[in-house]
Structure 1
Amino acid sequence: MLVATPAIFPILTQRSYAQTSQTQAAQLQQLIDLGLQQTQQRQPLQAIETLKQALAIAQSIPSREGEAFVNLGLGLNYNRSGQPQAALNFYHQAVRYFQEVNERILEAATLNSIGGVYRQIGQPQEALTYFQQALPIRREVSDRATEATTLHNIGAVYGDIGKPQEALTYLQQALPIRREVSDRAREAATLYNIGLVYRDIGEPQKAIDNLEKALKITLEIRAGLAQENRQQFLQNNRAISVALVDLLIDENRPDQAFKWHHLATTFDLADYSHLIDAQVINPPAQKLIDQWNENHERLKLLYAEVDNNWTPELSQQINELQAGNSQIAEDIARQYPEVAELFETTPQDLENLRENIAPGTLVIQPVLLTNISEVPDAIALFMVSRDQKAIVKKTPINPSEFDGILTEYRAQLENHNSENFDRNQELLYDYLIRPIEADIAAHSPEKLAIIATGKLRYIPFKTLYDNQRNQHLIEKYPIHYLTRISARRQLRTNTTSSPRVLAFGNPQPSPFDTPGAEQEARQVTEIFSGEYWVREEATRDRFQNDSPRFNILHLANPICFQANGCPGLGLGANQILFAHGETFNIADIGLLGLNQTNLVVLSGGFPTGMETESEGGGLVAIAYLFERAGADAVIASLWNAEDNTTLLIMTEFYENVKQGMTKAEALRQAKLTFAQEGIHPFYWSPLILIGDGGSF
């Protein structure tokens, strides 16, 4: 089924209700305003209750005009709450009134909404009837934005009933109007639908061209989204990326499929940097970024006017501001390549990406192509190395079963008393490794680098278990994670023979006294030369001033990775606690200049759970901020690890590094005995290495 453009709910302005008391009129207007606010915030159940109260007042006044407006709002919210028949009842009552009083704009809006509900419940001919009634009215009132909406919806219905040429006719009429009125989000929706029609009639190149244009637009839009709008936007537009990647795989273009999905992965990280206003050390670059952000805020306000107050002048204003901001983004990318990823919406050639994969490393990226009605549910497993082009294997999957396994396994990992976790270890190996294990073996990699997205970020791949050979994945290969493959960040070629460490632990005064963190900080500096600061001497000034001089930063301080803060620690999101209650915001880490830093260890972190994935944060996003600041790699914990085991693993890790092992192999060897002896993975698997897995 093609995607319909959502109905536009008109702004209900202050009305004049004849022959009513001022008190009733005011109360009615207040309830309508509150219902509209709840509707805009996508709170349909609350909006229904509010609008029911408004309806009773409108009927008692009586005010047929107010009643019609309320019926329109009730129709929209009943539909959103999964009650289409109730929605149709209220819509029909509203449209009758609008027809009686010749309120043509609202009549057309309601007819379009009725068509949308009929399409949703599988009655396409009824949907066409109402869309086609709405179209001439929208042309009559010269409402270009909503004319494009109805044209798009008619095209979508023709696609549903197997009439692709008719679908293209209407969609291609909608597209130039979308561009004329600068409605970029809906332009992407129309391009997406055109792409699906071309795919289904056997014209894959035209399908790919349109899907790529649609994805590029959605990436440009989401770069400036406010956090409260982000989740809904991503849910609405995820289909574009999934359909494009799926089609490219089917057309045997794995390189192209990988680079587009990789761009979307990188954009998740850049998007997070925008959301938390991450800073950069270069003042001219930061000035341009601030200017870009300011322009994008202005664009968001202008976009909000398109639905209800479109004029040619508004469209011109939007286009000029868009062009100016695009030029700023190009200037930033050209002049300051270290922050270019924050603004790129065109994928890098895979050859450029492969040059920055370390020799002997095989990159694996699982991609879930699921829960999109236009695409069969599958999981795609990409493999990319420095010396060979991308390989991909796609296998069918049941999304709910797979999600259930992930969720249950994560809960089992966090509970050291859990049992029967071995079954999920085996199932996940069969999903994520078994289909490509022969390809992995053919590469003979020195180490595996995993690029994980979504809930997969919260599962330690090292624990996956091959029940045919009775081995964990960690027993076969060293494993580390990558945030993405950077086309600009050059691999470090010079090694450090004697790395120096700056360690902090147990800052005081604090509600928490963690002597184990003090021991951890001391022990690190017994292995490597350097400095450690604990209790009252673990100050923020020392961290800010001294960090650039050291190769290893080891922070055994309380750190909050939770998107909504850590009230139990007294910390806000992404804050590190130092002595005397002072905090450091990780969003400012780019101001320190960590270009000499080989490794950052965040052993005191309060980790995120799977539920925070919708916010785009988590350890991978934090690691990305440190990478942008110059650090090569980050070690952090997926859950609150047991102190004694963590201390043993980190101590052996540093000893192994001192003996010349790569970071990935050093961490593997530090954990291997625990895995081989059947110790519960709660103890040994939470610490993960994100970033460069090579030597110091």
Structure 2
Amino acid sequence: MAERGRTRAFTALMTQRERPGTAAENESLKLMEMTVLAQQQQTTLVEYSIIRIPELDDPVLYIWVISAEGKIDFRQRSLTGMNLRALVQYSRRAIGVRGRGFSSTFSSMNLSRTSEFGWWGDPTDELTELHQLLIDPIADLLPDDPEKTIVFIPQGELFLLPFPALLNSKGKYLIEQHTLLTSPSIQVLALTEEMADSRQKNLSFPAINSLSDPLIVGNPTMPTIVLRDETGRFTKEPLPGLPGAEQEAEDIAGFLGTSALTSDSATEAVVKRRLGSADLIHLATHGLLEYGDPTETGSQTMPGAMALAPGVSEDGLLTTAEILQMDLQASLVVLSACDTGRGRITGDGVIGLSRAFVAAGAPSLVVSLWAVPDASTAELMTEFYRQLSQGQTKAQALRQAMLITMETHQHPIAWSAFTLIGAN
């Protein structure tokens, strides 16, 4: 029942796209199908439900675990005296994630992938408390082999949580112990695996050297957006350039034997034209939670847009609405930008860029949960593709990239923002 209540509109949209004419409402997974999926993918599934019922005195956290052998276990934790939403927010603030307000000086780290970061906090207490709440009750059910994948299916505020950075009592991050993915629901995971299988026959991903049409974008000539300063006045300013993103795109393109679209060549029109046929999409630019001109519409549009070079009749903002109209063929989409995994959290999951790309046909998506620092992100992403080229799965490659980046950028703000959604 917990699974059936998730992402119903999302799964209906995906089902109709992948299987035209199918009655999506009749396609909810049965319990046996969930266990078969875990066995077929050799993956441990962990689904969280935050139960808030007026008749209950206190909220409760339910956790279901389906092992790679198909065995189902259930654990629960009382949330008495605990504000889980606040704890997740405190953990993000302690990591160094700032709020959502725009600033004319671009000091707000949620606005964009930043050129540098000069402050952060100590998130040890919050990340340890969250590990105790979310992981300790099921630790004995998780695989011992760190290369075996675990798929977390969050709910509510847990969508904003960097699972890789959770700390155990011995001071080890969760990513050091396990290979992680996320999915909005088990059914979405099944549908993305189905999409991945159809792409695999044609593209042989992740044998990335065989890709025929990768689209790599980095540091486009930035568009102008509307910002509100501290006095409440609106000003129009161009987004700042991202030299690290440009170098990242050039390095990855060279690695794949192609050329990157940067500066003036990365126009919205050109990128839109290529998105539909690309078998790999990598966008290293600014990600925006809110965009548009409030002086014209009365409010900023949300959630989600990617910054590209403006052109004739194009404002340089690739929005979620535009993405939803596309039919993508890519096996993997990487949004190497800020806040691309965030959006409007509803009972149907997160509505934003991540949902738009998956609904448009991308079975695997790498997104971020906050404004990522430019330099360390470039290192992490380059290492991610290097690991893919060595035969790692996407989740294994992202894990190794995090571990290697951690060696030189130890603070979790530098490496734990990214998550892989969907098929492995």
Q: Decide whether the 8 Å contact of 1:483 with 1:623 is kept in 2.
A: no
Rate the CA distance shift 1:367–1:565 in 2: closer, same or farther, 3 A: farther
Code of the aligned partner of 1:506: N
Alpha-carbon distance, 1:268 to partner = 6.4
Matches within 5 A, 1:217-296: 260-267=1-8, 269=10
Q: Deviations for 1:207-244, whole angstroms, at most 9, x for unmatched residues?
A: xxxxxxxxxxxxxxxxxxxxxxxxxxxxxxxxxxxxxx
Supply the AA of the counterpart residue of 1:659: Q
CA deviations over 1:530-554 (Å, ceiling 9, x no partner): 3321122112232222223322101
Letter in 1 for 2:262: V
Cα distance change, pair 549–270 in 1 and its aligned pair in 2 (3 A): closer
SS in 2 for 1:601: strand
| TM-score normalised by L of structure 1 | 0.48
Say whether residues 1:613 and 2:349 are aligned partners: no
Mind listing any 5+ residue stretches in structure 1 that lack a counterpart? Answer: 1-259, 274-279, 287-332
Q: In angstroms, what is the RMSD of aligned CA positions? A: 3.3
CA spacing shift, 1:351–1:530, aligned 2, 3 Å: farther
Distance 1:526 1:266, change over 3 A: same
Q: Tell me, yes or no, if the aligned pair for 2:8 and 2:348 is still in contact at 8 Å.
A: no
Segments of structure 2 that go 5 or more residues without pairing to the other structure are: 98-117, 224-237
Partner of 1:529: 257
Report how far residue 483 of structure 1 moved.
2.3
Aligned counterparts, 1:143-542, within 5 A? 260-267=1-8, 269=10, 335-337=20-22, 341=24, 344=25, 347-357=28-38, 359-370=41-52, 372-374=54-56, 376-385=58-67, 387-398=69-80, 400-415=82-97, 417-441=119-143, 446-467=148-169, 469-486=170-187, 487-489=190-192, 490=194, 491-492=196-197, 494=201, 495-496=204-205, 497=207, 498-499=210-211, 500-508=213-221, 510=223, 511-512=238-239, 513-542=241-270
C-alpha distance in 2, partners of 1:678/1:541? Answer: 36
Question: Aligned with 1:613: secondary structure?
Answer: strand
Higher relative contact order (CA 8 A, sep 6+): 2
Return closer, same or farther for 1:399/1:262 CA change in 2, 3 Å cut-off.
farther
Task: Tell me which of 413, 418, 422 is aligned to 1:682.
Answer: 413
Q: Which residue of structure 2 lines up, in the alignment, with residue 626 of structure 1?
A: 357
Which SS does the other structure have where 2:327 is aligned? coil
Go from structure 1 to structure 2 and tell me whether the alpha carbon gap of 1:359 and 1:409 turns closer, same or farther (over 3 Å shift): same
Determine whether 1:601 maps to 2:334. Answer: yes
Q: What do residues 543-579 of structure 1 show as CA deviations (whole Å, max 9, x unaligned)? A: 22222332210112333234x76879x9843333332
SS in structure 1 opposite 2:66?
A: strand
C-alpha contact 1:649 1:670 (8 A) present in aligned 2: yes
Given the alignment, which residue of 371, 382, 391 partners 1:660? Answer: 391
Kept in 2, the 8 Å contact 1:474–1:668? The answer is yes
Matched residue, 2:103: none
Rg larger in 1 or in 2?
1
Q: How does 1:538-577 map onto structure 2 within 5 Å?
A: 538-562=266-290, 572-573=301-302, 574-577=304-307
User: Is 1:578 aligned to 2:308, yes or no?
Assistant: yes
Matches of 1:508 and 1:419, distance apart in 2: 33
Give the Cα–Cα distance (whole angstroms) in 2 for the partners of residues 566 and 351 of structure 1. 49
Structure 1 CA distance for aligned equivalents of residues 145 and 222 of structure 2: 53
- For residue 376 of structure 2, the aligned residue among 645, 652, 658 is 645
1:616 Cα deviation after fit = 6.3
Assess, with a 3 A threshold, how the Cα gap between structure 1 residues 452 and 509 changes in structure 2: closer, same or farther.
closer
Residue 175 (structure 1) aligns with: none
Task: Call closer, same or farther: CA 1:263–1:394 in 2, change over 3 Å.
Answer: same
CA spacing shift, 1:346–1:659, aligned 2, 3 Å: closer
* TM-score of the pair, normalised by structure 2: 0.76
> Using a 3 Å threshold, how does the CA distance of structure 1 residues 470 and 585 change in structure 2: closer, same or farther?
closer
Aligned residues: 368
Q: 1:360 and 1:615, CA in 2 relative to 1: closer, same or farther beyond 3 A?
A: closer
In the TM superposition, residue 438 of structure 1 has moved relative to its aligned partner by 0.7
Query: How far has the Cα of 1:389 moved from its partner?
Result: 3.9
Instruction: Return the structure number with greater strand share.
Output: 2
Larger helix proportion of the pair: 1
Identity of aligned residues (%): 24
| 2:29 partner letter | Q
Q: Assess, with a 3 A threshold, how the Cα gap between structure 1 residues 508 and 352 changes in structure 2: closer, same or farther.
A: same
- Aligned equivalent of 2:101: none
Deviations 1:112-148 (A, max 9, x none): xxxxxxxxxxxxxxxxxxxxxxxxxxxxxxxxxxxxx
Please give the per-residue CA displacement for 1:42-78, whole angstroms capped at 9, x wherever unaligned: xxxxxxxxxxxxxxxxxxxxxxxxxxxxxxxxxxxxx
For residue 381 of structure 1, report the CA deviation from its aligned partner. Answer: 1.1
State the shift of 1:647 in Å. 0.4
SS in 1 for 2:259: strand
Change (3 A) 1:676 1:439: farther
1:166-191 CA distance string (max 9 Å, x none): xxxxxxxxxxxxxxxxxxxxxxxxxx
Contact 2:248 2:379 (8 Å CA) reproduced: no
Distance, in Å, in 1 between the alignment partners of 2:409 and 2:125 is 14
Amino acid at match of 1:382: W
